[in-house]
Chain A
Amino acid sequence: GAGVSQSPSNKVTEKGKDVELRCDPISGHTALYWYRQSLGQGLEFLIYFQGNSAPDKSGLPSDRFSAERTGGSVSTLTIQRTQQEDSAVYLCASSLGGSDERYFGAGTRLSVL
């Protein structure tokens, strides 16, 4: 596609349930990032994938959060046993390389009831 695509655009779930958020990066982009944006806050880094290298998971807030990137393309962010404080917009971005311009998707708005 022309840009970074994220799905779903909105997700409402109950506390304790697991959720999966999907990111389709721009074709050919080797770097992929996940960020969390809470109301009135900046963008909080979660995880970074670069090619076939081991991902940088230093931003994941707890072991309930995990992410994978299959075949160097599509990425899935999984949140297990969701909590109300997980409610936020989850943004995905991709870039040609780690030092290049990052292109963001529109995000997935997660609401945990």
Chain B
Amino acid sequence: GENVEQHPSTLSVQEGDSAVIKCTYSDSASNYFPWYKQELGKGPQLIIDIRSNVGEKKDQRIAVTLNKTAKHFSLHITETQPEDSAVYFCAATSGGSYIPTFGRGTSLIVHP
């Protein structure tokens, strides 16, 4: 089955800096890669996703890149703000499956 590794487990940045979270996956058949943000006491919320026919996708301060050859994808947050502080999860879904495999999460702390 699919295996997703996520790094780092904790990331601390100053407000205004950029943050990058990286994930690798094992199944070359995976074709859908969502990113979720989980705030304290809440369920994960989808913030951006990318499919395997696209190399990069951007939504305001958030961007995701995908390298299918290397089987890794990354989340980039620019101009970080304190409200970006949360746990971020990456996930990968194999073609034909409706069950994403999640990474272990990255706790992002943005210091004002």
Contacts and interface: CB of A to CB of B under 8 A. Distances in A.
A102 B35 CA distance: 11
B44 A106 contact: no
Contacts of A43: 44, 89, 91, 102
B41 interface: yes
Contacts of A18: none
Contacts of A102: 46, 100
A42 B44 contact: no
A4 B45 CA distance: 12
Nearest to A104: B43
A56 B104 contact: no
A98 interface: yes
A41 B36 CA distance: 14
Contacts of A99: 32, 98
Interface residues of B, number: 23
Interface of B: 4, 6, 9, 32, 34, 36, 41-46, 49, 89, 91, 98-105
Interface of A: 4, 31, 33, 35, 40-43, 45, 48, 50, 56, 59, 91, 93, 98-99, 101-102, 104-107
Given A40-B104, A41-B105, A102-B46, 14 more contacts: A35-B102, A40-B9, A40-B105, A42-B4, A42-B105, A43-B102, A45-B99, A45-B101, A91-B43, A93-B43, A99-B98, A101-B34, A104-B44, A106-B43
Top-10 shortest CB links A-B:
A104-B43, A98-B98, A42-B102, A43-B102, A42-B104, A104-B44, A106-B43, A105-B43, A101-B46, A106-B42
26 contacts: A4-B43, A31-B98, A33-B99, A35-B102, A40-B104, A40-B105, A41-B104, A42-B4, A42-B89, A42-B105, A45-B101, A48-B98, A59-B99, A91-B43, A91-B44, A98-B98, A99-B32, A101-B34, A101-B46, A102-B46, A102-B100, A104-B36, A104-B43, A104-B45, A105-B43, A107-B43
